[in-house]
């Protein structure tokens, strides 16, 4: 599928011309030591029997620009007494300047535009200065053919800047350099231009993506988000008796919502990665001075970095508990704010985790901050079934990750920058009306009490456990 996509747009010669990186990679392939194949090979556990026949290319249209978000800060000053947040330039209800992405696919009815002259669409151009944080949560199925066209609209507040942007899918094992988004190795998207990225994921798991142009700045400024790939086993079930997942063709309403990996085992096997509910948790922090500097045409000394706000899915506690946003307003192209929270229109993704007693709940953690959070779920053990889009199984038959079970139980995950973890917990018993509350928070307690002891602005959310059957089955992540 990928080959035919490529041949439509680029023949092999043109591809090599365009990408010195691709050329280097091809040259490298011929001299790579024989053992490298073993490490570069997909590490999926048990390959599902077959992928469904090729499906239509999934198309997404992203814009890159700037905007403003709301963090419940109180007033934050620097040592010189300058108020960094809320920034005096911020629109009503907002506090902090960001760079970022938006998904505007629905404005075009979801149809791929062959030559993305679509930056002439008035509704698209109107989104300059209107981005979201964290970047849109994306998820795909193993074997999907994906096109993401990125249009760089430039910055509304900083017309003096002409920064290009890219999309780098961090951890993607089979990236062509042309589509890897590392500007030194391939290309980046200039202001006023669009570029289509193509992907064909073969390894399920939890990943992240970010702009790789001037990445210390652009990642800190907000151009980052979560992306995950669901395994083929969701579509096919497996030979050990795990059924097709709910929501896929032939999936019964009582089937699991999905599997984290192609685990190849029965539902009651300890190694099963089946789950009933799924939540992406994207972690990062913001250094208020750098956001102020970018808004006020100043430069930042990045070695001064320190975290002022700690975010989950682009929000700080208690905003983490607010509901999801309402999607796109198709007349204006703007994001529809969560009910009752007009200030959170640019931060649409909730981190509230709601489940029923006995549910298996998948938490897909990604840390793309510059610090190391220790995420603790107080009172409920989590089983870590995957790390960095790799199932926690030893190497087994066929060189695949279908060997010994190396998953483990913990109530705290200490994660470095750029790491992802797949954790499943079983919701504890609950009877009667209402819900029991368990806290999920960064156990580095300074992250709960920023800035200046106001008690606001931390990485914390709630797990709310209802009685069995009290909630409808989940149909989409983070709901
Ligand atoms: Cu960028």
Q: CA distances (Å), 412 to each of 223, 276, 277, 380, 442, in order?
A: 27, 22, 20, 10, 9
Q: Are strands 224-230 and 194-199 parallel, antiparallel or unpaired?
A: unpaired
- Residue 382 CA, ligand 1 centroid: distance in Å: 35
Question: So what's the pLDDT on residue 120?
Answer: 62
Task: Tell me which residue of 377, 383, 387 sits closest to 443, measured CA to CA.
Answer: 377
How many CB atoms within 10 Å of residue 90?
Answer: 16
- Per residue in 333-385, pLDDT (tens digit) is 899 999 999 999 999 999 999 999 999 999 999 999 999 999 999 999 999 99
| Integer Cα distance of 2 and 58 in angstroms | 12
| Integer Cα distance of 448 and 157 in angstroms | 31
Strand partners, 286: 309
Indicate the DSSP class of residue 87. Answer: -
- Residue 100 CA, ligand 1 centroid: distance in Å: 8
Ion ligand 1: residues, CB within 5 A, are: 165, 211, 213, 218, 223
- Residue 454 CA, ligand 1 centroid: distance in Å: 32
Question: So what's the pLDDT on residue 272?
Answer: 97
Question: So what's the pLDDT on residue 16?
Answer: 34
- Residue 358 CA, ligand 1 centroid: distance in Å: 42
Residues 6+ apart with CB under 8 A from 378: 411, 438, 439, 440, 441
Residue 397, sorted as left (phi over 0), alpha (psi -120 to 50) or beta, turns out to be: beta
Strand order in the sheet with 194-199: 96-103, 58-69, 146-152, 194-199
Question: So what's the pLDDT on residue 3?
Answer: 32
The distance of Cα 153 from the centroid of its chain, to the nearest Å, equals 22
The answer to whether the beta carbons of residues 145 and 58 sit under 8 Å apart is yes
- Residue 170 CA, ligand 1 centroid: distance in Å: 14
- Residue 139 CA, ligand 1 centroid: distance in Å: 21
Positions of the chain with pLDDT under 50: 1-53, 114-117, 455
Task: Tell me which residue of 288, 325, 278, 296 sits closest to 133, measured CA to CA.
Answer: 325
- Residue 132 CA, ligand 1 centroid: distance in Å: 14
- Residue 291 CA, ligand 1 centroid: distance in Å: 14
- Residue 65 CA, ligand 1 centroid: distance in Å: 8
């Amino acid at each position: 599928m990928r080959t035919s996509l490529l041949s439509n747009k680029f023949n092999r010669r043109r591809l090599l011309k365009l990408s010195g990186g691709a050329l280097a990679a091809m040259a490298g392939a011929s001299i790579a030591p024989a053992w490298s194949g073993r490490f570069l090979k997909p590490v999926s556990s048990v390959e599902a029997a077959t992928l469904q026949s090729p499906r239509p290319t999934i198309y997404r249209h992203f814009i890159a620009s700037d905007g403003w978000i709301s963090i419940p800060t109180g007033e934050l000053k620097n040592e010189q007494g300058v108020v960094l947040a809320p920034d005096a330039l911020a629109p009503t209800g907002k506090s902090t300047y960001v760079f970022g992405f938006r998904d505007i696919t629905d404005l075009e009815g979801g149809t791929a535009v062959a030559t993305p002259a679509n930056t002439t669409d008035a509704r698209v151009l109107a989104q300059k200065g209107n981005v979201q944080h964290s970047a849109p949560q994306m998820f795909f199925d193993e074997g999907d053919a994906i096109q993401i066209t990125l249009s760089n609209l430039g910055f509304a507040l900083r017309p003096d800047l002409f920064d290009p942007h890219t999309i780098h899918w961090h951890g993607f094992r089979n990236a062509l350099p042309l589509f890897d988004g590392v500007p030194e190795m391939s290309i980046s998207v200039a202001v006023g231009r669009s570029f289509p990225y193509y992907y064909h994921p073969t390894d399920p798991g939890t990943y992240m993506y970010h702009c790789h142009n001037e990445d210390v700045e652009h990642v800190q400024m907000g151009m980052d988000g979560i992306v995950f790939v669901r395994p083929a086993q969701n579509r096919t079930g497996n030979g050990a008796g795990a059924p097709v997942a709910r929501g896929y063709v032939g999936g019964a309403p009582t089937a699991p919502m999905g599997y984290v990996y192609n685990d190849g085992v029965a539902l009651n096997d300890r190694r099963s990665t089946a789950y009933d509910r799924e939540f992406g948790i994207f972690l990062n922090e913001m250094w208020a001075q750098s956001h102020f500097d970018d808004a006020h045409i100043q430069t930042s000394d990045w070695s001064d970095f320190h975290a002022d706000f700690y975010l989950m899915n682009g929000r700080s506690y208690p905003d983490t508990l607010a509901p999801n946003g309402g999607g796109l307003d198709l007349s204006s192209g703007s994001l529809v704010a969560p009910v009752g929270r007009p200030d959170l229109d640019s931060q649409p993704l909730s981190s509230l985790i709601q489940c029923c007693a006995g549910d298996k709940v998948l938490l897909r953690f990604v840390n793309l901050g510059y610090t190391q959070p220790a995420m603790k779920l107080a009172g409920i053990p989590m089983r870590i079934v995957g790390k960095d889009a790799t199932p926690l199984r030893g190497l087994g038959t066929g060189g695949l990750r279908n060997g010994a079970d190396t998953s483990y139980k913990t109530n705290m995950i200490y994660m470095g920058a750029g790491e992802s973890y797949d954790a499943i917990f079983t919701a504890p018993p609950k009877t009667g009306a209402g819900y029991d509350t368990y806290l999920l928070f960064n156990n580095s307690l300074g992250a709960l009490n920023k800035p200046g002891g106001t008690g606001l602005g931390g990485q914390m959310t709630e797990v709310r456990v209802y009685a069995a059957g009290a909630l409808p089955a989940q149909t989409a992540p983070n709901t």
